[in-house]
Amino acid sequence: MGEEEKIRKAFKERDWAEIKSADSWVVFKVISEFVEGFEKLAKIGPCVSIFGSARTQPDNEYYKMTEEIAAKLVRHGYGVITGGGPGIMEAGNRGAHSENGKSVGLNIKLPFEQFDNIYIDRDKLINFDYFFIRKVMFVKYSQGFIVLPGGFGTLDEFFEALTLIQTKKIGRFPIVMVGSKYWQGMIDWIKEVMLHEHGNICEEDLDLFSVVDTATDAVAVIDKFYSKYLLSPNF
């Protein structure tokens, strides 16, 4: 009987001792994922993470733009980190691979959509069971986030970064949203409802991200940030 079956059986039988024991053993799995992530990613050098939908097809304009962004990032001295799957993630790894740059994939086990793409460097592919550990790795080892059109997962990663920067839990880094026609409705809602109508954020919070429409502008935001703050990418 597998661990999940044991836990389901314990809940059904109200075996609380078994449930507590199972919870305790999860800690070791969590630690092992953190250790593997830290050991592999500490060696990669400066990278930018690219986020977006797993459902985006290769003939989509944003897939092609993502390839271009990733290739430009490599030419500007960065590696590329993605979620390791298909769609926008594949395009990011593909663009980095085309320029012989570092192509990292932080894959997550899901019941659908997710499988590692062929453009990830095999020594830079990590598979995770837990979303929260995967998100820690994105934040800790990225010098910037570039966010292409996507769904709930993309929004989760975008707002996670904004929240951590806003609350000063991490140092500021550039967050770039690509595709104003896709994001404009959400941005208008943030400004009109969150900010002006309810006052749930500050005016300055709007400066935590940029919106662009070309690959060149996306990479320029990253370069300008590190030039402006006299910082070097990575550590």
Count the domains in the chain: 2
Provide the domain limits for residue 215.
Answer: 45-228
More reliable by pLDDT, 54 or 24: 54
**Considering the domain boundaries, does residue 235 fall inside one?**
no
pLDDT band at 36 (very low <50, low <70, confident <90, very high): very high
The predicted-structure confidence for 206-232, as pLDDT tens digits, reads as follows 999 999 999 999 999 999 999 875 555
Considering the domain architecture, whether residues 87 and 117 belong to the same structural domain is answered as yes
Q: Are 222 and 48 in contact (CB under 8 A)?
A: yes
**Considering the domain boundaries, does residue 84 fall inside one?**
yes
DSSP-derived 3-state class of residue 51: strand
Average pLDDT (46-52) is 97
Considering the domain architecture, whether residues 50 and 114 belong to the same structural domain is answered as yes
pTM given for the model = 0.86
* pLDDT confidence of residue 235: 39
Considering the domain architecture, whether residues 36 and 56 belong to the same structural domain is answered as no
- List, as one string, the DSSP characters of 76-111: TT-EEEE-SSSTHHHHHHHHHHHTT--EEEEEE--S
- d(Cα 96, Cα 73) in Å, to the nearest integer? 8
CATH number of 183's domain: 3.40.50.450
**Considering the domain boundaries, does residue 191 fall inside one?**
yes
**Considering the domain boundaries, does residue 234 fall inside one?**
no
